[in-house]
């Protein structure tokens, strides 16, 4: 069975009978985990094993585990600072900031991989324009070079651990105040401005073989009337052709308010696939998942399959074994000092 285009969530700390049935559907290809799915390290490892055992090739298990405000699991894991903390260190000492970012990316990825989690949706490639509440300190820096270099270091750390990186949110979510979870943001800037600023970090990481990108539920009316997540102009023309991106493209969550303008859940799924997305998260709305499974025609895209299978993580150690390694202690200490560094307001 191939991997389908839907990435869905589950309610509890173990799989229900309904979960198992839905996860075996050929249109499903992944699971995204949340804090509600975590009780203990042992429970989480068992849950991920159960998910992986359901299918061949195994379902992709994902999580949002950037650090700061967006870290789903904490007890037993290293508590990571927000990306902006690396940026502040970078401003004080460029090499130290880059080294810390690489250590942070390795640490995050290694701890997730130790539990069997394939990918964390990171790093953030949005610029901090000082206006977006949903981005804010999730961005590494305000400058193009700062974001590109710090996110590149973070990606190197992830890759060294064995995890594929996912840059988000293309072509850039940092230039508007609105939160796409709650409304449809509109960014009035023209294409040239976006191309010469917000898109540059994506372009640079693509050149270094970025494995995946998540789109933004943002409309850029000077370029296209559709939100970028649903836009062939942004995905097929800009990402695939202009930037020659060969990795996997994730839509942002189809249940967010920024997606409502497209129509019902099935209409959103169809439009995202037609636009060129490979995988579509559908979170916290099981009724939406069921609607799509009942109404979406069979989807078969061999190229998309190859892009998705490459996202499987690779680790052969437990979290306990990882934390016994000197390199874990070194990375943990670097991140801990950064988090508690005097004068760093981490929010």
- Torsion (CA) 151, 152, 157, 160 in degrees, nearest 10: 150
φ/ψ (deg, to 5) at 232: -60, -30
- What three-state secondary structure class fits 281? strand
- The DSSP symbol for 31 reads E
- Give the whole-angstrom CA distance, residue 328 versus residue 316: 15
- DSSP string of 205-267? HHHTT--EEEE---B-TTT-SSBGGG-HIIIIIIIIIIS---SEEEPPPTTSGGGGGG-SHHH
Q: Which of 91, 93, 145, 181 is catalytic?
A: 181
Residue from 9, 128, 198, 252 carrying the catalytic annotation: 252
| Residue 70: strand pairing partners | 67
Any catalytic annotation for residue 181? yes
Beta strands in the chain (DSSP E): 6-8, 28-33, 60-63, 65-67, 70-71, 119-120, 166-170, 212-215, 248-250, 280-282
Q: Is residue 339 among the annotated active site residues?
A: no
Q: Is 54 left (phi over 0), alpha (psi -120 to 50) or beta?
A: alpha
Phi, psi of 167 (to 5 degrees): -85, 140
Q: What whole-number distance in Å separates Cα of residue 119 and Cα of residue 134?
A: 21
Catalytic center residues: 181, 252
């Amino acid at each position: 069975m191939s991997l389908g285009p839907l990435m869905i969530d589950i309610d509890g700390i173990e799989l229900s009978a309904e979960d198992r049935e839905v996860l075996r559907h050929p249109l499903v290809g992944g699971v995204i985990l949340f804090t509600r799915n975590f009780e203990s390290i042992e429970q989480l490892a068992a849950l991920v094993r159960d998910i992986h055992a359901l299918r061949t090739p195994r379902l992709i298990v994902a999580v949002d585990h950037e650090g700061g405000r967006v870290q789903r699991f904490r007890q037993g894991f290293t508590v990571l600072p927000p990306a902006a903390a690396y940026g502040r260190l970078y401003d004080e000492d460029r090499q130290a900031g880059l080294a810390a970012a690489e250590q942070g990316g390795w640490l995050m990825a290694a701890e997730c991989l130790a539990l069997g989690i394939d990918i964390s949706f990171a790093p953030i490639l949005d610029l901090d324009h000082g206006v977006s509440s949903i981005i804010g300190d999730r961005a590494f820096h305000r400058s193009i070079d700062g974001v590109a270099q710090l996110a590149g270091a973070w990606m190197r750390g992830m890759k060294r651990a064995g995890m594929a990186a996912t840059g988000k949110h293309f072509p850039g979510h940092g230039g508007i105040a609105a939160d796409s979870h709650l409304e449809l943001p509109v960014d009035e800037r023209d294409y040239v401005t976006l191309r010469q600023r917000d898109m540059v970090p994506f372009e640079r990481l693509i050149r270094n073989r970025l494995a995946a990108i998540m789109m933004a539920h943002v409309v850029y009316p000077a370029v296209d009337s559709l939100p970028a997540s649903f836009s062939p102009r942004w995905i097929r023309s800009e990402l695939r052709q202009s930037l020659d991106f060969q990795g996997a493209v994730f839509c942002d969550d189809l249940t967010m308010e920024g997606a409502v303008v497209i129509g019902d859940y099935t209409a959103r799924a169809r439009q995202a696939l037609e636009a060129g997305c490979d995988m579509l998260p559908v979170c916290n709305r099981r009724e939406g998942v069921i609607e799509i499974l009942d109404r979406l025609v069979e989807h078969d895209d061999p190229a998309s399959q190859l892009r998705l299978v490459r996202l499987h993580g690779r680790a052969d150690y437990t979290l306990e074994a990882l934390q016994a390694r000197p390199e874990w202690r070194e990375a943990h200490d670097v991140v801990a000092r950064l988090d508690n560094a005097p004068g760093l307001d981490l929010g």
